[in-house]
Amino acid sequence: MKVIKFGGTSVGSAGPLRNVKEIAESRDGSLVVVVSALGGVTDTLLECARKAEKGDESYKSVFEGIKERHLNLISSILGGSCDGPVSEIPGMMKELETLLDGVSTLGVLPPKTAAQIVSFGERMSSRIVAAMLDGAVLFDPLTFIKTRVVEGRTMLDGEKTESLVKKAFEGFDKSHGIAVVPGFISTDTLSGEITNLGRGGSDYTASIIAAALDAESLEIWTDVDGFMTADPRIIKTSYVIDELSFAEAMELCNFGAKVIYPPALYPVYPKDIPVHIKNTFNPSAKGSVIRRESSPLTRAVTGISSIDNACLITVSGASMAGIIGVDSRIFNVLAHHGISVFLVCQSSSETNISLGVMEDCADLACELLEKEFEHEISEGSMSPVQIHHGLATVAIVGEKMKRNAGIAGKLFSVLGRNGISIIACAQGTEERNISFVIEKKHLRKALNVIHDSFFLSVYQELNLFICGIGTVGGQLLGQISAQREKLMKERNLKLNVVGIARSNRGVFDRDGIDLSGWREALAGGRELNPATLRDEVIGMNIFNSVFVDCTASSEVASLYKDFFEHGISVVAANKIAASSEYGNYAALKALARKRGVKYLFETNVGAGLPIINTINALRNSGDKIQKIEAVVSGTLNFIFNTLSEDIPFSQTVRMAKEQGFSEPDPRIDLSGKDVIRKLVILAREAGFVVNQEDVDARLFIPKEFFDCPIEEFWEKLPGLDAAFEKERRRLAAEHKRWRFVARIEDGKYSVGLDEFVEGHSFYVLEGSNNIVLLTTERYHEHPMLIQGYGAGASVTAAGVFADIISIANIA
Ligand code: ADP
Ligand code: ASP
Ligand code: MG
């Protein structure tokens, strides 16, 4: 014999009800079918009763809605036939209406009336299901599911119920029939009044019957494919756990995994009756099974659950350690008032104890404890009781966490890296559950980051904010869009672009922006300024966030600090921060390190060429950089390589701008400013303390060209063409070429235009190529040479992309 239970959504409408019929009727052997009220009806009945209590006449229309919903279902499932079990429904409706009218007239809703009202949900749904299933017999749980009141709470009267269930189902096992039982509802052993097993209690009804009748198995049919690694409504990447142990399931359900009502596991556990979780909407899915032993194949962490309505109450005092029996007094007073404590943390100094309680009883708990320790608080041996609202509690659960070193370390380090601090935590010697308390606003992020890092998800995720959609940002979005699928398949890396912003507009979506239409999405986005951009990025509070700066804006660069503080990594094509005042650069790097996030800016020098990474690798392995000579202005190289008899200087500058090789204002390149920034960045990464003012810059264009408005600059530029042509001819005759070189040597830093003869490694340097010569302790006689494309939107975007991917390796 089997017991199967269908939840509210499974019986809530005609479509799934047809599946219910097929599932139930296809079984051999006898079957007990436990049903919930139609989805949402319990809530609606309660709402209706409360409205009636308050004298709100709209309870009548709510009641009519309930009635209509049932009648519609009867007509679509049973063709409107009102024979058999459903014949009682109209009478029940009348009874319910009379009860509601009574509540409205008297203006009171005693708990027993509420229980009576709410019981109609299951009483009616079960009649529809019984009428629908061929040969089904309706059983009445009001005669065999019994409750008692203990310390003011309604509890199952286990012994009584077991014997009554056995009696009610005597001989049923051999009947090969189908019994339909309304879930959730019960009666009080002493008074006989209608009660219930608590919200979600239909699971409990099913489990009680399964245990009393020694069923082969219990099946819980619901609206998800099984018991998932985390709440699927929060974690999109959660997936079904094939097998889990009772202990694991209890830890998860007790703590927010709504898929089973926690007490429902107690009756079947001692009898080792397996519990299957199945999806009525997808019956062929394998589902999950809960049994005594967990599968040897499961991971260390089986699942994560959470609650978001937690409070911490802290009882403390310097001399508390000397007072005998503080803990027992705390727990006694709370227990007497039916307040349950779900988490306890006490430091070994015994000077404080923090208790996790649900929000709805926190104020009462605080009051009771203040009263209990009134004397100690007034004489100063204990401090006033503290209460901390607005918290969430998360539990990670797994049988195999036991004796598996490093789980807690990993857990807390990934949370720390994402800027989430732990307010309290608890782990018992069973090592099956680590629970911790955090600010409620961090809950979604915490769940995602834990899910991601314990490889519960199939994918690792990075959530990207792309700021700046000029040539580099635009190319980057194109490259991400083209590579996403491949990265997902081959690297299990999921890149979500969760924000795109340009100077005054941005679009944000935590589920990811569809990159095929990002321009339209951005056009429809909202107005932004740097401060609101910062608030938006930080406020979204998404795990594994990376802010990608493809702007040249100092205002955007000034946001990095706040991003690091909030656990957000930064990848910058923008050179401003790394070349800013040394103290700022050093502080940013130190802060990123302290927060466990990344600050990467490889493309600041040589676009996609691996220059900064190489310098870091050399230094990390103990080498010392002695000298750097570098041609790192793709723009200036392009200009001097393009300059010819036919193309005058002014035109080369224009071409550099038009082809995307120069900064938006090419004077940043011509003045050497861009090279100075790059040199400062290289020098700093090589271990030198240097600022832009320390660099000796030799200008090759008169100063007045830099002090005028940009339009005037363009106008005046052709005036330099003749002089450049003269010099160009001289160089050509001498077999020399111009290169704008950055030098770091013997504590001196310089940039300037130099001439190189044929044969020098700087002589042949095509187009916008860059070249860097690194002389180090190890690479002394033959310096290391890095050469290649050093400018251009696509290689720069590719370099930014590479920085982004490298973050995935640490996240
Ligand atoms: P029913 O009405 O069938 O009893 P419930 O709504 O009580 O269904 O429980 C199923 C719901 O539990 C799912 O729709 C899902 O949103 C939620 N849920 C929360 N945590 C989990 C989890 N870890 N695994 C599966 N479902 C979960
Ligand atoms: N109908 C009840 C509720 O909504 C019981 C259940 O669905 O399990 O809580
Ligand atoms: Mg349920």
| CA 135 to centroid of ligand 3, rounded, Å | 27
Q: How confident is the model at residue 400, as a pLDDT? A: 83
d(CA 395, CA 262): 15
Collect all residues with Cβ–Cβ distance below 8 Å to 727 and sequence separation of at least 6.
none
- Each as own residue / partner, the long-range contacts of residues 527-530 (CB below 8 Å, 24 or more positions apart, any chain) are 528/501, 528/504, 529/504, 530/555, 530/556, 530/558, 530/559
- Ligand with the closest atom to the CA of 259: 1
| CA 18 to centroid of ligand 1, rounded, Å | 21
Closest ligand 1 atom to 227 CA = 24
At 663, the amino acid letter reads E
Token pair of 125 as six digits: 């749904």
DSSP per residue, 730-793:
HHHHTTEEEEEEEEEETTEEEEEEEEEETTSTTT---TTEEEEEEEESSS-SS-EEEEEE---H
Give, for ligand 1, the residue of 234, 259, 288, 457 to mutate: max count of ligand atoms closer than 8 Å to Cβ.
Answer: 259
Give, for ligand 2, the residue of 199, 222, 259 to mutate: max count of ligand atoms closer than 8 Å to Cβ.
Answer: 199
Q: What is the 3-state secondary structure (H, E, C) of 652-693?
A: HHHHHHHCCCCCCCCHHHHCCHHHHHHHHHHHHHCCCCCCHH
| CA 238 to centroid of ligand 1, rounded, Å | 13
DSSP per residue, 193-241:
-EEE--TTTHHHHHHHHHHHTT-SEEEEEESSSSSBSS-TTT-TT--B-
Out of 678, 716, 726, 736, pick the active-site residue. Answer: 678
Q: How confident is the model at residue 459, as a pLDDT? A: 66
What does the DSSP 8-state code read for residue 384? Answer: P
Give pTM, 2 decimals.
0.73
Task: Give the residue, by CA position, lying nearest to ligand 2 atom 5.
Answer: 200
At residue 690, φ and ψ (nearest 5 deg) are -145, 150
Give, for ligand 2, the residue of 125, 197, 202 to mutate: max count of ligand atoms closer than 8 Å to Cβ.
Answer: 202
Q: How confident is the model at residue 401, as a pLDDT? A: 85
66 touches 72 (CB < 8 A): no
What does the DSSP 8-state code read for residue 440? Answer: G
What does the DSSP 8-state code read for residue 383? Answer: P
Residues with a CB atom less than 6 Å from ligand 2: 7-8, 36-37, 42, 121, 183-184, 199-203
Token pair of 373 as six digits: 């320790």
Closest ligand 1 atom to 230 CA = 23
Q: CA triplet 801, 807, 808: central angle to 5 degrees?
A: 95
- Ligand with the closest atom to the CA of 11: 1
Q: How confident is the model at residue 83, as a pLDDT? A: 80
At residue 570, φ and ψ (nearest 5 deg) are -130, 130
678 is catalytic: yes
Q: What is the distance of C-alpha 342 from the center of its chain?
A: 24
Closest ligand 2 atom to 201 CA = 8
| CA 227 to centroid of ligand 3, rounded, Å | 12
| CA 204 to centroid of ligand 3, rounded, Å | 10
At residue 775, φ and ψ (nearest 5 deg) are -105, 125
- Ligand with the closest atom to the CA of 224: 1
Helix (H) or strand (E) run with residue 245 in it: strand 243-245
What does the DSSP 8-state code read for residue 385? Answer: P
Q: What is the CA radius of gyration of the chain?
A: 36
d(CA 549, CA 560): 9
Q: How confident is the model at residue 810, as a pLDDT? A: 47
Q: What is the distance of C-alpha 771 from the center of its chain?
A: 43
- Ligand with the closest atom to the CA of 256: 1
State if residue 36 touches ligand 1 by the CB under 6 angstroms criterion. yes
Q: How confident is the model at residue 18, as a pLDDT? A: 96
Helix (H) or strand (E) run with residue 626 in it: strand 625-631
State if residue 257 touches ligand 1 by the CB under 6 angstroms criterion. yes
Give, for ligand 1, the residue of 197, 204, 207, 222 to mutate: max count of ligand atoms closer than 8 Å to Cβ.
Answer: 222
Helix (H) or strand (E) run with residue 475 in it: helix 471-491
d(CA 572, CA 74): 63
521 touches 514 (CB < 8 A): yes
The stretches in the chain having pLDDT less than 70 are 295-298, 322, 455-459, 809-811
State if residue 232 touches ligand 1 by the CB under 6 angstroms criterion. yes
| CA 589 to centroid of ligand 1, rounded, Å | 44
Collect all residues with Cβ–Cβ distance below 8 Å to 68 and sequence separation of at least 6.
none
How big is the chain, counted in residues?
A: 811
54 touches 109 (CB < 8 A): no
DSSP per residue, 497-563:
EEEEEETTEEEE-TT---GGGHHHHHHTSEE--HHHHHHHHHHH--TTEEEEE-S--HHHHTTHHHH
Q: What is the 3-state secondary structure (H, E, C) of 357-378?
A: EEHHHHHHHHHHHHHHCHHHHH
Closest ligand 1 atom to 220 CA = 3
657 touches 714 (CB < 8 A): no
Q: Identify the sign of the CA torsion 641, 645, 646, 651.
A: positive
Q: How far is CA 426 from CA 343, 353, 360, 432, in A?
A: 7, 12, 22, 11
| CA 25 to centroid of ligand 2, rounded, Å | 24
Token pair of 182 as six digits: 């309304």
Collect all residues with Cβ–Cβ distance below 8 Å to 530 and sequence separation of at least 6.
553, 555, 556, 558, 559
Closest ligand 2 atom to 8 CA = 7
Q: How far is CA 358 from CA 423, 433, 447, in A?
A: 16, 19, 19
End-to-end CA distance of the chain: 49
Q: How confident is the model at residue 318, as a pLDDT? A: 78
d(CA 764, CA 736): 10
